Amino acid sequence: MRLLNRGKPRTRLSNSTLLFIIAGIIFLLMYGIAIVSFPVSFRQFQTFFDFFNLNAALFITTLGMCIVIIGGGIDISVGAVCGLVTMACALLLQSGAGNVWGALFLALGIGLAFGLMHGFLIAYLEIQPFIITLAGMFLAQGLLTTLHKEPLNVTNPDFVALRRFTIEIPWLGTVNRLGVFIPCEIKPGVIVVVALVVLYAVLMKWSSFGRNLYAVGGNRHSARMLGINVKKTIFLSYVLCGLTAGISGFVFLMTTGAGNIGNGALYEIKAIAANVMGGIMLSGGVGNLLGAPIGTLTLLTINELIRAAGVQSNLQAIVAGLLLYLFIVLQSIIMALRDRREFRLALPPWLKPHRS
Amino acid sequence: MQPEIILKMEGICKSFPGVKALHNVDFVLRRGEIHALMGENGAGKSTLIKILTGVYQKDAGQVYLEGRLVHFKSPQDAQNMGIGTVFQEIALCPNLTVAENMFIGRSRGAFVNWKQMNESAAKMLNSLGIPASPTQELASCSIAVQQMIAIARAVDMDCKILILDEPTSSLDEDETKKLFALMHELKARGVGIIFITHFIDQVYEISDRITVLRNGELIGEYLTAELPQIELVSKMMGKALSDVSAIKKHEPPKSDDSVPVFEARGLSSATGVRPFDFSVHKGEVNGFAGLLGSGRSESVRAIFAADKVTGGEVKINGKVVKIRTPLDAMKQGIGYLPEDRKSDGIIDELSVRDNIILALQVMKGFFRPLSRKQAEEFANQYIQLLEIKTPSLDTSVKSLSGGNQQKAILARWLLTHPMYLILDEPTRGIDVGTKVEIQKLVLKLAAEGMSLTFISSEIDEMLRVCSRLIVMRDREIVGELSGVDLTEQNVMQMIAQGGGE
Ligand SMILES: Nc1ncnc2c1ncn2[C@@H]1O[C@H](COP(=O)(O)OP(=O)(O)O)[C@@H](O)[C@H]1O
Ligand SMILES: [Mg+2]
Across the interface, do A12 and B140 touch by the CB < 8 Å criterion? yes
Assign B229 a pLDDT band (cuts: 50, 70, 90).
confident
Domains in chain B: ranges and CATH: 5-244 (3.40.50.300), 282-309+322-497 (3.40.50.300)
pLDDT (average), residues A59-63: 97
- pLDDT over 70 percentage in chain B: 93
Q: What gap in Å lies between CA B101 and CA B104, rounded to an integer? A: 6
pLDDT tops 50 at residue A95: yes
Residues of A in contact with B104 (CB under 8 A): 211-212, 215, 226-228
Q: What is the CA radius of gyration of chain B?
A: 26
Amino acid at A258: A
- Average the pLDDT over each of A242-256, B236-250, B379-393, B418-432 and give the range with the smallest value: B236-250
Q: Which of B294, B272, B271, B268 is nearest to B200 (CA)?
A: B294
Nearest to A207 among B79, B80, B110 (CB): B110
A 10 A CB-CB count for B478 gives: 18
Q: How far apart are CA A29 and CA A161, in angstroms?
A: 38
pLDDT digits (tens, 9 = 90+) for B52-74: 999 999 999 999 999 999 999 99
Helices (H), chain A: 15-37, 39-42, 45-70, 78-95, 100-119, 129-147, 157-164, 188-206, 208-218, 220-225, 230-256, 267-277, 291-308, 315-338
- Res. B242: pLDDT tops 50: no
- Are A285 and A214 within 8 A, CB to CB? yes
Nearest CA to ligand 1 atom 25: B42
Q: What is the pLDDT of residue B349?
A: 75
ipTM of the complex: 0.86
Which ligand has the shortest distance to the CA of B25? 1
**C-alpha closest to that of B467 among B244, B246, B247, B253:** B253
Is A329 an interface residue toward B (CB < 8 Å)?
Answer: no
Architecture of the structural domain at A14-334: Orthogonal Bundle (1.10)
A176 compared with B1, residue with greater pLDDT: A176
Per-residue model confidence as pLDDT tens digits over B84-135: 999 988 889 999 999 999 999 888 788 999 999 999 999 999 988 888 999 9
Strand A167-175, strand B34-38: pairing:
unpaired
Nearest to B112 among A208, A217, A285 (CB): A208
Does B486 score more than 90 pLDDT?
A: no
B116 touching chain A per CB within 8 A: no
Kindly report the average pLDDT of chain B as a whole number: 86
Give residue A313's pLDDT.
65
Q: Give the rounded percent of residues in chain B with a pLDDT score beyond 90.
A: 38
Put simply, whether A206 touches B (Cβ < 8 Å) is: yes
How much is the pLDDT for A311? 72
This prediction has a pTM of 0.77
Distance from CA of A279 to the nearest CA of B (A): 14
Q: Confidence class of residue A61 from pLDDT cuts 50, 70 and 90? A: very high
| B320 pLDDT more than 60 | yes
* Dist. CA A120–CA A315, nearest whole Å: 37
Beta pairing class for B262-269 and B309-316? antiparallel
- Measured from the Cβ of residue B360, the count of other Cβ atoms closer than 10 Å reads 18
Nearest Cα neighbor of B193 from B167, B164, B223 is B164
- The pLDDT value given to residue A209: 96
For an interface test with A, the pick among B19, B80, B95, B103 (most A C-beta atoms closer than 10 Å) comes out as: B95
- In Å, what is the CA distance from B223 to each residue of A51, B35, B179? 74, 9, 22
Of B92, B110, B126, the CB nearest to A3: B126
**Cβ contact (<8 Å) for A226 and B122?**
no
The whole-angstrom distance between residue B67's C-alpha and the CA centroid of its chain comes to 35
Tell me the C-alpha distance between B228 and B238, whole Å: 15
**Amino acid identity of B308?**
K
Q: Residue B193: name the closest of B33, B389, B23 by CA.
A: B33
Q: For residue A356, what pLDDT band results from cuts at 50, 70 and 90?
A: very low
